Each structure stands twice: as structure tokens, then as C-alpha cells.
Amino acid sequence: MEVKELILQRFTELEKQMNDLREVPAGTTGLTWYPQDAWQAWATSVANLFDGAFGRTSVHFETFERLHQNRKSNSDVDAAKGVFRAAKADFEGGYVFNLERAVIGEVFGDFVVLAKEALANGNHIAAAVLASAALEDALKRFASSRGVDILGKTMQEVVNSLKAKGFVAGAQKSLLDAMPKVRNQAMHADWTKLTASDAASVIGFVEQFLIANF
């Protein structure tokens, strides 16, 4: 099961737990209160989910955790439920914006620009090196974000894992098959085998890959 599917499954489970939370009489005061054990169990699990899904610096996590840690009344619990519903809707709708990924995309985009300039100036070797470095790092970050183990893996092994798990398919899959060979020639100084077309193909692929995934 993919990471996203696991997160969605956990959202569903915790939504059910949330709906099962019921106020009970608080002694003989005539007031009602959410049971502390049930509230803490649910809130702790939600905080853990938000940490993994959005990160500790996200507005979802920070808002919920503030309510979790400073609960003083039933209205705080109701507010926490509202935050949970909003977070679930944002995640399901794909409206989760990851600043780290955006920054990474910009950095890799700069590599592509430099590679294009090098190719335009007749230096296809430098172009291939720059584009290959950007592609390998982007592929590994993409694979890691999908739960693929990349520790100590070569680019070819990462590509194989992505293909096996169905994270790349169709025309992208066919084009990606040729990338490790060009990468190895560029990174291992086997430059006599590199052509301007090789450099252009890597640049084109990494550019589209970044647009689609970062």
C-alpha cells in the first residue's frame, strides 16, 4: 500500500474514533465533559498523523497541537474536531502544499537552466553532467517520498524500483530506461560516448519530471 493510501486509511479510522467521542456527565454538576482518556488517545493519534502528513511546521499540526495541549473546555475539543475535518478535506483534495518540495523544484530547475545554457554554448558534456545530477537526485527524492528504499541504491536500481511499483509508466517509463546509461557516461567521465542528443534527452526528461512531480 502506498504512503498516501495509508494516510487516507488512518484519516478514516480516526474520523470514526472522533465520531465516537461523546460527552458524559461531569459528576453531579449537571455539566458534561469529554472523557480524558478517550480524548487523549484520539488527539495523540491525530497529532502523530498530522506530523507525518503535513509536518510540524504546518498550520494543521500547529493549530491542532495548541488545542490538544491547552484543552480547557468542550469547545476546545469541538474546535480540534473542526481542524481534523479541515485537514482531512485538504489531504483528500490534494491541497497540501509542501514548501520543501517547492524549493527543491526551484533548485533543480536552476540546474536545468544551466544545462540548457551549456548545451546552447556547445558544451554538451557539461550539460549532460548537470542534467544527470539533477535527475538522479530528483528520482531518489521522488522515490523516497513514495516509500521506496533508496539507501545505497544506484540510479538504475531506483529506476527499477519505481517501474516495478508502477510509479512511472507509459512513455515516461520508456524514456527513463535510457537515462541511467547516459548518467553513468556523464558521471564516470566516459565522455567520448556522449552526444549532444544525449544531453538534450536528459534535459528534456528531467524538465518534464520536475514539472510533474515538484
Q: How many CA atoms lie within 13 A of 170 on its CB side?
A: 1
Q: pLDDT by residue for the chain (214 residues), tens digit each? A: 566 788 889 999 999 999 999 888 877 777 888 899 999 999 999 999 998 888 787 889 999 999 999 998 889 999 999 999 999 998 888 776 554 555 455 556 677 888 889 999 999 999 888 888 888 888 888 888 778 888 888 888 888 888 888 887 666 666 777 788 888 888 887 888 888 998 898 888 888 777 776 6
Q: Which domain holds residue 202?
A: 99-213
CATH of the domain at 190: 1.20.120
Residues 89 and 119 in one domain: no
Asked if 179 and 82 sit in the same domain, the reply is: no
The CA radius of gyration of the chain, in Å to the nearest whole number, is 24
Of the residues 73, 93, 113, the one at which a domain ends: 93
Domain closes at, from 58, 93, 128: 93
Distance of CA 181 to the CA centre of its chain: 27
Q: Are residues 12 and 86 in the same domain?
A: yes
Query: pTM score, two decimals?
Result: 0.49
Are 89 and 103 within one domain?
no
Same domain assignment for residues 7 and 48: yes
If DSSP codes are grouped into helix, strand and coil, which group holds residue 69?
A: helix
3-state secondary structure of 25: strand
Residue 14 shares a structural domain with residue 71: yes
Alpha-carbon torsion 146, 151, 155, 157, what sign?
negative
Same domain flag for 89 and 106: no
* Helix ranges restricted to H, the chain: 3-20, 36-53, 59-69, 74-93, 99-120, 124-145, 155-164, 170-177, 179-187, 196-213
Same domain, 44 and 130: no
Q: Do 72 and 156 belong to one domain?
A: no
Query: Considering only CA atoms, which of 65, 63, 60 is closest in space to residue 88?
Result: 60
Show Cβ contacts of residue 64 under 8 Å, excluding neighbours closer than 6 positions: 43, 46, 47, 50, 80, 83, 84, 87
Q: Does residue 87 share a domain with residue 16?
A: yes
Last residue of a domain, one of 93, 126, 157: 93
Tell whether 108 and 194 lie within a shared domain. Answer: yes
- pLDDT, residue 99, reads 47
Q: Do 114 and 201 lie in a common domain?
A: yes
Write the single-letter amino acid at 188: H
Contact yes or no for 162/209 (Cβ under 8 A): no
Contact 99, 205 (CB under 8 A): no
Domain total of the chain: 2
Characterize 157-178 residue by residue with b for buried, 16 or more Cβ atoms within 10 angstroms of its Cβ, and e for exposed: ebbebbeeeebbeeeeeebbee
